[in-house]
Structure 1
Amino acid sequence: MIQLKLALHNLVKSKNQSLPFIFSNSMWVIITYIFLSMIYNTNIKTNSYGTVANYILKLGLVFVILIAALSTFYAERLLSKQRMQELGLYSMLGLTKRHLRQIILLENSLFYMICIIIGSTLGMTFSKLAFMSLKSLLGASSLHQSFTLLPLLYVAVIFAGIFILIILFDFWGLRKVNPINLWAKSSQPEKEPKSHILLAVLGIIILLIGYYISVTVRPTGAAFGQFIIAIMFVVVGSYLVFITASISLLKALKKNQNYYYKPNHFISVSNMLYRMKQNGAGLASISLLCTSILVALIASVSLVAGQKNLINLWSPRDIQIVSKAPLSTTANQTIHRLANNYQITMSQPQTLIVTTPVMGALSGNQFNSQFNTKTEYTLSSLDLKQYNHLQNTNYHLKNNEVLLYAPGSNYSQRHLTIRGRTFKVKPVQRFNGAFVYSHTIYKSIFIVAANKTIAKQLNPQPYIYAQGFNTHGTKRHQKQFAKTVQKTLNIDPGNFTSKYIMRDLLKAMFGSLLFMGILISIVMICATTMIIYYKQVSEGYADKDHYHIMSKIGLSKKETKKAIQSQVLTVFTLPIIGAVLNLIFALPAIKSVLTIFSMYNLKILLIVSLLTISVLIISYMLIYLATTTMYRRIVENPSTD
């Protein structure tokens, strides 16, 4: 069959484009299979808090499929432009549109089968390693893996759908083009884009608005929504800036005679200007993908590193019970009986009596009770006698003085106004009885007043009783004991905290987030690499005739090399600068989101950020060196296919 032979010939002949396409799609098959294997080939749903991890993995799977589809379409669009030349030649030799469609169908079918075979084989191989990593991150010894054909079936169906859409896309493009013009279409040059000053200015303004929102995000309930809005502005602004502002910049450089009329600048500026509309979108995509990699890794690693701090804040002791009245004698007897049943030794319980926390915002040295998007804190009050007893301290306070304990807020004012009364503040750094009421995301403030009367005036809410105690025994018995106490006494989950239960929940949540972040980062790195590679190859084929003509009129190999380096370095530098700039402005928003969960640690955030940026830059430079070599080889050899 001549169509099959031609399809195979195209794959082998165009190996510079075919092999990276196969490699990248095989990588996405591997990652997709690993996600599906973790969801369907493990008992994660029946594990402790596995429903949370399973849900997060499914979200990651959807994201991976979306990125894989978009990146594959991007590569296919560049591949189809090169394929047009081959199809144009075949049409001149007498093949009809039906024959050309058959070649496209067979070529993409071969791509699909090769990618599925390679990806599924390697996916099954690496899924064991991925499972061990997930098991370690979740800390779930009872997690086990089995083998079923369901993930393989889903992978085959998902990527069959992607490749069917690609085939239909190619058919549509072929339908609109007269076969006799296919050869000429493949070599049509890009038209010089127009300069849109207003759009360029608008893009810069939109980008700056996104940066401003990100920098001014405060750790309140509205932080998530503001961060999403900031992301939307940055995405739109980045595309406008890279497409329109870059064109305006290149035209400005073209008008600068001292800069423009130098061989390497003349060639690089001219080449980039004529294709910057397409280049700009590609550069913006690369920049945003790099930003996504940085944010995903930094956020997920910071969450995992800070979970211990969150557990300690939510409950200073192994078990904490909050109620509106002191626990009855019967309830305490039940707790001791259950402790004996599970061979648990309990410490002496300590009870903290405080006013029910009231939500509000801290503005300067004034606390305002409110519940809206500006809400950031919860405030409770207690008397000095109780604080001294719990802390073994000997503070003395006047009626106009208070002690203030606000972990994570760094309150430095000397005065505080609450409900119209101003008090002198003495900050304290330790309070063993502090806890987070109802596991709220807001930061806790504890005000210690001179006596109960003033404490009640500061916050006229009913008193609550927080009883906590430590336990000693095996981890399994401690978890079983905590679950049984909550169930037997019928305590609302918001008023009951067990460090061991909470640790399992956070490990399931943040461990799966880190697992997903790592896999998604690999996917985005592959997508970035593929976009860069195909952009370089596509431009290499578009530029080779120009360089060949210029070499005939006197352009030396040294000057060609300098021009290529100037152009490629400019193209590569802009996205990574944009990504680092985006991250710098995203860090305040990331800090605010982490602060909401009381998991912000400046040292961890900076270390993770610097390491992630360093790894990304090194990887980016390796991609730069590899694709530059490919670009130069194509350009310097006019006969390269």
Structure 2
Amino acid sequence: MNTMHNLLFYPRLARTNMKKNNSIYYPYLFACSLMAGLLYVLNSVSVMVVDSGMKGGDIMYMLVRICFFICIFFVFIILFYINSFIMKRRKREFGLFCILGMGKKHLAFVLFWEVFRSMLISLLAGIAGGILFSQLMFLLLLKFVGLPGKLVFRIPFQSVGETILIYLICFFFVLLYDIISVSRANPTELLRSSKEGEREPKTRWLAAAAGAAALGAGYVKALTTYTASDALLAFFPAVVLVIIGTYCLFQAGSIALLKALRKNKAFYYKPENFVSVSGMIYRMKQNAAGLASICILSTAVLVTLSSCLSLYAGEEDMLRNQFPREINIYSQIPELTENADGRAEEQGTVTSGLPAAVQEAIDTLSASTGCETENSMEFYQLSLAASYENNSFTTALGNKGSSSMLYIMELADYNRLYGKSYELGAGEALFFTTGTPVEGEADICGEKYRIRERIDKFDITQLLGFATPVDLSVFVVPRLEDMVRLAKAGNALIPDERFPSYIYYHTFFDIDGSKEAVAAFEDRAAGEIPGITRIYVRSQVRAEFYELYGSILFVGIFFIILFLTATVLIIYYKQITEGYDDRERFGIMEKVGMSAKEVKRTITRQVLMVFFLPLGMAVIHIAVAFPQLCKMMTVFSMTNAGLFAVFTILSVLLFGLAYLLVYRLTARTYFKIVQS
């Protein structure tokens, strides 16, 4: 009987402890349940994608699984971070247990049952909620990618098992950390731990200067990226520098600022400022890490939300950027590159019979299928994968410099397509680039061209391949012979002949007719139009676009929920921790003469000063990073910077409203604790 009593004692004590500390455990259990539900939903959706056998399922499965594994990492970090807040509030209670006669072994049993109870509740609630919403989330994914679907209730037991396994591992390490942290402290330290104040921190000018330097370097990297390739290479180092700078400035720079405010007698010697500034100085080391974490997480929410919404809303624009017409035909003309003897001397131009044959075949096919072509675009183009350095483009492998995709067009085609009337002499060229501008004279595989004029705007939708992370440059040369000469010069620099460059004849057009007639034209085009190397039908490619960008938005939703959960939890526990720390201090202030109104005004000022600083810093981060993010978006053919700016501003406003709501809720809890 006594043995049974002992076995039930620790579970009962754990349950009683959690009930008594419901203000810190209920939000923790809710967050753990939410994260368990997210993991289950992601896992189950990936299983449903595979089982459905849908077209494009490989892309969706890959993105969802990548999101799943990244979410596991964040869940692990969030659980540990929030658990540290709970342990700080509970250490005094554990110290009291030790003084009353409980040993470290008995505390370990209590901790085991508290952690086990937390895990069990989280898993039951999370998986139950995930089961209810997983099918709806799968239908949401189908909606994003433009595929039909119907509601079918099912429970993938593989997902249940993997979610349980992940939580078993996570909570095992949480329990291990809790036991070690409690066992290393003596009862007196545990009893005093929750009341220990912070000694006045020293002004660490070196750390503040290092933080300012790191943040400045990160900002410079973001502001000096002129190309998509530079933006991709600089993004991770810039993020690391900004994170380091943010933490250093919040920890060292904020203390220096507060001490400077303390020296300002006109500001400091007012009741509300005196209490706020002095209190923040003494606890800033504790506050700084939480504030910096809130700032970084807020920035992550803003970047993820604005990017995913922009990519999803701009799908049609990106589709038109890569495929400017409904039918896009690319015909290779190797004879122009291999042999320039087909020169019509009386006209002084290189000729090929392929364009005429292509046009004749298109007219014949459209007539036989009952279709009409319209909005046609025809032009020659040479594309070279080159390296760029010091105004020089070369196809030689291993050349130093930045990667560049080089496009060559004939002046006659450019003037006709854009309604221009440029004239170029021999050895002159027009130039456009999304990368580093070329000044004066350009060297293209050994051929010299003087830049007659730089084109500030270029309709890049007419050139396939602008969805690449490399720098993009366009040269408009006087005649087709220049393109032939450049193609041969580029191929001569390639040590092997596996990947030669050829001149292509592009034929883009829209097609009008009945659904059956258009389908017949699309089916027969590849077989009946001569010289076709590639043919893209925009309506057929659209499904792949929606699969990719719809999946990106879907996984982005989960990242946003995770980041928001972490942000709200850190804010909430920070408010609770500060509330208990401030309760006795403000009680003393009331006893020495401060009115309740003055106390509340002082509390409000302190909370506002601390609470909205991370949000302001996050907005500055996103504003500075905006040019770099715009360049990175061009990797996905997202060139509409205006649309991205709109969604960025909208994301800031939406997140600001959510942040204000969290402030009002957590501040109310803080006031109750302080005034109790």
TM-score normalised by length of structure 2: 0.82
Amino acid at match of 2:194: S
Q: Is residue 615 of structure 2 the alignment partner of residue 576 of structure 1?
A: yes
Q: Is the 8 A contact 2:330 2:506 kept in 1?
A: yes
CA distance in 2, matches of 1:483, 1:633: 75
Bigger shift: 246-255 or 573-582?
246-255
Q: Is the 8 A contact 1:533 1:627 kept in 2?
A: yes
Q: How far off is 1:393 after superposition? A: 6.1
* Change in 2 beyond 3 A, CA 1:137/1:484: farther
Q: Is residue 641 of structure 2 the alignment partner of residue 602 of structure 1?
A: yes
Q: How far off is 1:567 after superposition? A: 1.3
Amino acid at match of 1:613: V
Amino acid at match of 2:72: I
Give the match for residue 340 of structure 2. none
Bigger shift: 444-453 or 134-143?
444-453
| 1:206-245 map, 5 Å | 206-245=214-253
CA distance in 2, matches of 1:538, 1:603: 43
Amino acid at match of 1:465: Y
* Change in 2 beyond 3 A, CA 1:489/1:522: farther
Bigger shift: 127-136 or 425-434?
425-434
Q: Is residue 43 of structure 2 the alignment partner of residue 36 of structure 1?
A: yes
Amino acid at match of 2:61: N
Q: Secondary structure at the match of 2:408?
A: strand
CA distance in 1, matches of 2:15, 2:573: 20
| 1:102-117 map, 5 Å | 102-117=109-124
Bigger shift: 46-55 or 368-377?
368-377
Q: Is the 8 A contact 2:467 2:634 kept in 1?
A: no
Q: How far off is 1:265 after superposition? A: 1.7
CA distance in 2, matches of 1:529, 1:169: 23
Amino acid at match of 1:33: Y
Give the match for residue 186 of structure 1. 194
CA distance in 2, matches of 1:490, 1:52: 31
Q: Is the 8 A contact 2:369 2:521 kept in 1?
A: no
* Change in 2 beyond 3 A, CA 1:122/1:292: same
CA distance in 1, matches of 2:516, 2:162: 38
Amino acid at match of 1:353: Y
Q: Is residue 520 of structure 2 the alignment partner of residue 513 of structure 1?
A: no
* Change in 2 beyond 3 A, CA 1:142/1:185: closer
Q: Structure 1, residues 260-280: CA drift from partner, whole Å, max 9, x if none?
A: 222222222222222211211
Q: Secondary structure at the match of 1:355?
A: strand
Give the match for residue 71 of structure 1. 78
Q: Is the 8 A contact 2:139 2:151 kept in 1?
A: no
Q: Is the 8 A contact 2:33 2:125 kept in 1?
A: yes
Q: Is the 8 A contact 1:362 1:376 kept in 2?
A: no
Q: Is residue 462 of structure 2 the alignment partner of residue 434 of structure 1?
A: yes
CA distance in 2, matches of 1:134, 1:352: 40
Q: How far off is 1:144 after superposition? A: 8.2
Q: Structure 1, residues 307-348: CA drift from partner, whole Å, max 9, x if none?
A: 32333232333243343448989x989x99xx99x9896849
Amino acid at match of 1:185: S
Q: How far off is 1:240 after superposition? A: 0.6
Q: Is the 8 A contact 1:400 1:423 kept in 2?
A: no
Match of 2:28 among 15, 21, 25: 21
Q: Secondary structure at the match of 2:229?
A: coil
Q: Secondary structure at the match of 1:422?
A: strand
CA distance in 2, matches of 1:25, 1:475: 54
CA distance in 2, matches of 1:69, 1:369: 48
Q: Is the 8 A contact 1:221 1:373 kept in 2?
A: no
Q: Is the 8 A contact 1:134 1:511 kept in 2?
A: yes
Q: Secondary structure at the match of 2:155?
A: coil
Amino acid at match of 2:450: T
TM-score normalised by length of structure 1: 0.86
* Change in 2 beyond 3 A, CA 1:439/1:76: closer
Bigger shift: 19-28 or 84-93?
84-93
| 1:219-618 map, 5 Å | 219-317=227-325, 318-325=327-334, 347=373, 352-357=379-384, 359=386, 368=393, 374-384=402-412, 386=413, 391=417, 395=421, 397-399=423-425, 419-422=447-450, 424-425=452-453, 434-437=462-465, 440-442=468-470, 446-456=474-484, 463-468=502-507, 470=510, 485=526, 495-618=534-657
Give the match for residue 204 of structure 1. 212
Gaps of 5+ in 2: 1-7, 336-352, 491-500
CA distance in 2, matches of 1:535, 1:479: 65
Q: Secondary structure at the match of 1:41?
A: helix
Bigger shift: 239-248 or 299-308?
299-308
Q: Is the 8 A contact 1:137 1:511 kept in 2?
A: yes
Counting aligned pairs with the same residue, the percent is 27
Q: How far off is 1:360 after superposition? A: 6.0
Q: Structure 1, residues 77-109: CA drift from partner, whole Å, max 9, x if none?
A: 111122122222222222222221111111111
Q: Secondary structure at the match of 1:187?
A: coil
CA distance in 2, matches of 1:616, 1:359: 43
CA distance in 1, matches of 2:23, 2:647: 36
CA distance in 2, matches of 1:216, 1:432: 23
| 1:106-185 map, 5 Å | 106-141=113-148, 146-179=154-187, 181-185=189-193
Q: Secondary structure at the match of 2:505?
A: strand
Q: Is the 8 A contact 1:377 1:442 kept in 2?
A: yes
Q: Is the 8 A contact 2:320 2:461 kept in 1?
A: no
Q: Is the 8 A contact 1:314 1:497 kept in 2?
A: no
Bigger shift: 569-578 or 302-311?
302-311
CA distance in 2, matches of 1:432, 1:191: 61
Q: Is the 8 A contact 1:134 1:512 kept in 2?
A: yes
Bigger shift: 216-225 or 200-209?
216-225
CA distance in 2, matches of 1:483, 1:84: 76
CA distance in 2, matches of 1:477, 1:441: 34
Q: Secondary structure at the match of 1:22?
A: helix
RMSD across aligned positions (CA): 3.8
Q: How far off is 1:244 after superposition? A: 0.9
CA distance in 2, matches of 1:525, 1:627: 15
* Change in 2 beyond 3 A, CA 1:127/1:448: same
Q: Structure 1, residues 132-191: CA drift from partner, whole Å, max 9, x if none?
A: 221111113379865321212211111222111111111001210223542223322222
Q: Secondary structure at the match of 1:160?
A: helix
CA distance in 1, matches of 2:298, 2:44: 27
Q: Secondary structure at the match of 1:465?
A: strand
Amino acid at match of 2:253: A
Q: Secondary structure at the match of 2:503?
A: strand
CA distance in 1, matches of 2:113, 2:672: 30
* Change in 2 beyond 3 A, CA 1:510/1:111: same
Give the match for residue 55 of structure 2. 48
Q: Secondary structure at the match of 2:314?
A: helix
Q: Secondary structure at the match of 1:353?
A: strand
Gaps of 5+ in 1: none
Q: Secondary structure at the match of 1:101?
A: helix
CA distance in 1, matches of 2:452, 2:641: 29
CA distance in 2, matches of 1:82, 1:305: 46
CA distance in 1, matches of 2:283, 2:253: 14
Q: Is the 8 A contact 2:431 2:451 kept in 1?
A: no
Bigger shift: 135-144 or 565-574?
135-144
* Change in 2 beyond 3 A, CA 1:586/1:482: farther
Q: Is the 8 A contact 1:11 1:18 kept in 2?
A: yes
Q: Is the 8 A contact 1:210 1:230 kept in 2?
A: yes
Amino acid at match of 1:231: V
CA distance in 2, matches of 1:61, 1:453: 54
